[in-house]
Amino acid sequence: MSSGPIGIFGGTFNPIHHGHLRSALELKQSLALDQVRLVPAAEPPLRRAPELSAEQRAELVEQAVASEPGLVCDRRELSRQGPSYTVDTLVELRTELGTDRPLCLIVGTDILERLDQWHRWEELLDFAHLVVIARPGWRMPETGRIASWVEEHGGVSADLQGSPAGLVVLQQQRQLPISATEIRDMIAAGQSPRYLLPDAVWDTIQRLGAYGAGLERQEQHGIC
Ligand code: ATP
């Protein structure tokens, strides 16, 4: 079996969109990752409960990655009780994949800026590297405890293969300006989000009537 690095990209994925998918694929290629595991959070600790169940959000992730073998949906957080803490996911993965394999936890800059609100956040680097996806020109915070932590553990992408965990790497790359919030708002306003997310995902959202999809049409036809 191959023993290259594995990317772990967690999120609410409410819903998954092309911003997530393109970043995951570009990182897989630029960091020579064996695969990127997209891990839907069953119960995101720092958010309101999402409109779609964890099962439904995971199903959308499955549909989104079905034709790309380098990206896989990892449903492990759905089978745990209570808040979905990333550190618990990393502990499980480390146990399954062994002590030597590099694991790269992938997060956006929005997550890095409030990482110190995460459960046992400083332990994340005991189990994985942290790869921060940043738009070109974005800079790490320069003051505060996250800044000192990043300075202490900062590395470059070429070092990721050389150790299983422990580095924070800023990866400058294209970031599509798409957010799940915008997609949900668009759907609720009766607009189509097509081309911001995979067609299969949008088709399923419409079938479920999620985020208010189809409500306008139903109202026009007196269904509601
Ligand atoms: P919301 O708008 O509901 O906050 P989101 O689009 O930011 O959702 P999340 O599921 O919260 O999506 O994010 C999962 C991960 O994906 C986070 O690490 C986040 O920083 C990252 N991310 C979100 N949008 C993008 C994007 N357009 N490109 C790259 N990464 C993204």
183 Cβ inside 6 Å of ligand 1: no
| CATH top class, domain 6-172 | alpha beta
Note whether 173 and 155 are within 8 A (CB): no
Phi-psi region of 201 (alpha: psi -120 to 50; beta: other; left: phi over 0): alpha
Q: Give the distance (Å) from ligand 1 centre to CA of residue 49.
A: 16
Contacts of 88 (CB under 8 A, 6+ apart): 80
Q: What ranges do the domains of the chain cover?
A: 6-172, 183-220
Tens of pLDDT, residue by residue, the chain (224 residues): 468 999 999 999 999 999 999 999 999 999 999 999 999 998 877 677 778 999 999 999 999 999 999 999 999 999 998 898 999 999 999 999 999 999 999 999 989 999 999 999 999 999 999 999 998 788 877 889 999 999 999 999 999 999 999 999 999 998 899 999 999 999 999 999 999 999 999 999 999 999 999 865 545 444 43
Mutation test residue for ligand 1: of 17, 20, 48, the one with most atoms within 8 Å of CB = 20
Q: Give the distance (Å) from ligand 1 centre to CA of residue 197.
A: 13
Distance (Å, rounded) from C-alpha 131 to C-alpha 212? 35
ω into 40 cis (within 30 of 0): no
Contacts of 67 (CB under 8 A, 6+ apart): none
111 Cβ inside 6 Å of ligand 1: yes
Instruction: Give the torsion through C-alpha atoms of 208, 211, 213, 219, to 10 deg.
Output: 110
